Structure 1
Amino acid sequence: MPKPLAKKLSNTLDDALDDVMHELKRASESLEEGAEDQFSKASAALTKAAQVLAGEVRERSAKVSKTVTAEAKEHPVAAATALAVAAAALVGLVVAARRTKAS
């Protein structure tokens, strides 16, 4: 994941959690009749943040997928090599994990 995208997602999550924490703090300070409403607002804020994040991730992953597909079509040998290296790395990890379990 590119650093700017990761930073943006992190900031989005931080903002959402700040909203939720603010609402929960207000609710806990006023454990009267309005507390249920405050918890409801906090829940709604969290749900909204999750929906926004899911939308951003869906949009970004579609863009990344298109870019990767275009690059693979442009450079098929490099793409095949990268896939082979990744597969070899995964096999190596599996073998190492099995050896660790056997020990």
Structure 2
Amino acid sequence: MRVKSFWKYYSGQEIAPVLTIFIGGNHEASNYLWELYYGGWAAPIIYLLGFAGVVKFGNIRIGGLSGIYNAPNYCLGHHERSPYNDNTMGTGKLTETD
């Protein structure tokens, strides 16, 4: 896997040339995007719709649903929760030896 150029926009090193609206997919830096679980500005003029979202741009309504189809999980439903908890932050936790 190669690191592409989104980090330059996310860090503020570059500014996108046009308004960009996106949803999370399969290869994004999900650890950063979880911070915007319900949507928000990922970078100047780059807006993340979150897990599911709708925005209005002029007279156009833009919506998106993020996710990957997985047959066993398809009918389980999606239940709102905080983006982070002790279990989901496991790789970022410091231990006494750090």
Q: Which entry has the higher C-alpha Rg, 1 or 2?
A: 1
**TM-score, normalising length: structure 1:** 0.22
**TM-score, normalising length: structure 2:** 0.23
